[in-house]
C-alpha cells in the first residue's frame, strides 16, 4: 500500500502539538500541585488561592489540544476526507512546532513561577494577585506561540 505522506505529516503535527504542550502542562501543574498541597497542609483556607495558581500552567495543554484539533479537522483526519498533498501535510506539521515547543517549555517555566507564587501566598495571602500576574507573564509566550501556530495552520491551502 502506498503511504499517504500528507496525512501522515498532518497527524504527526497534531500529535506533537497535543503531546508536547500537554506534557508541559502536566509537569507545570504537577509542580504547582505539590507546592499547593504543602501549603494547604499548613493552612486549609489557602486552598482557593493555591488552586487558581495551580491551574495557570494548565492552559498550554489546552492550546496544544486546540492546535491539534484544528490541524486534524483541516487535514480531514476526523472525517477521513480526501488525501492531502505532502506539501500541505508538511506545512501543517511545521505549523505545530511553535505551540509544541513553546507550550512544553513555557508550561514548565510557568509551573516553577506558580510554585514560587504559591509560597508567596502562603506567607502573604493578600498578595495573591501579584503572584498570579507573575505567573501569567510567562504564559504570554505560550499565547504568542498559539497565535502563530493558529495563523500558520489557517494559511495552509488544502486540496
> Which residues lie near other proteins (CB under 8 A)?
52, 55-56, 58-59, 62-63, 65-66, 69-70, 73, 78, 129-130, 132-133, 136-137, 139-140, 143-144, 146-147, 150-151, 154
34 vs 140, beta carbon nearer other proteins: 140
Smallest gap from Cβ 133 to other proteins, in A, equals 6
Smallest gap from Cβ 154 to other proteins, in A, equals 6
53 vs 88, beta carbon nearer other proteins: 53
Whole-angstrom distance, CA of residue 116 vs CA of residue 58: 16
Given a contact cutoff of 8 angstroms between Cβ atoms, the answer to whether 17 and 149 are in contact is yes
81 vs 136, beta carbon nearer other proteins: 136
Smallest gap from Cβ 46 to other proteins, in A, equals 15
Local structure of 81: helix, strand or coil: coil
For helices 59-74 and 128-155, the axis angle rounded to 10 degrees is 10
Place of cell 513561577: 113
Continuous H helices in 43-127: 47-55, 59-74, 86-123
69 vs 101, beta carbon nearer other proteins: 69
Smallest gap from Cβ 22 to other proteins, in A, equals 14
Whole-angstrom distance, CA of residue 46 vs CA of residue 52: 10
Smallest gap from Cβ 62 to other proteins, in A, equals 6
Whole-angstrom distance, CA of residue 37 vs CA of residue 39: 5
87 vs 154, beta carbon nearer other proteins: 154
Amino acid at each position: 500500500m502506498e503511504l499517504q505522506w500528507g496525512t501522515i505529516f498532518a497527524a504527526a503535527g497534531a500529535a506533537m502539538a497535543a503531546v508536547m504542550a500537554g506534557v508541559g502542562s502536566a509537569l507545570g501543574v504537577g509542580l504547582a500541585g505539590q507546592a499547593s498541597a504543602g501549603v494547604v497542609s499548613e493552612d486549609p483556607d489557602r486552598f482557593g488561592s493555591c488552586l487558581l495558581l495551580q491551574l495557570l500552567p494548565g492552559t498550554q495543554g489546552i492550546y496544544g489540544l486546540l492546535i491539534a484539533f484544528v490541524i486534524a479537522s483541516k487535514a480531514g483526519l476526523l472525517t477521513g476526507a480526501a488525501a492531502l498533498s505532502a506539501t500541505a501535510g508538511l506545512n501543517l506539521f511545521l505549523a505545530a512546532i511553535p505551540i509544541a515547543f513553546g507550550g512544553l517549555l513555557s508550561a514548565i517555566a510557568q509551573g516553577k513561577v506558580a510554585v514560587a507564587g504559591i509560597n508567596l501566598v502562603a506567607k502573604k495571602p493578600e498578595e495573591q494577585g501579584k503572584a498570579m500576574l507573575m505567573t501569567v507573564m510567562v504564559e504570554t509566550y505560550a499565547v504568542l506561540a498559539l497565535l502563530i501556530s493558529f495563523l500558520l495552520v489557517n494559511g495552509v491551502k488544502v486540496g
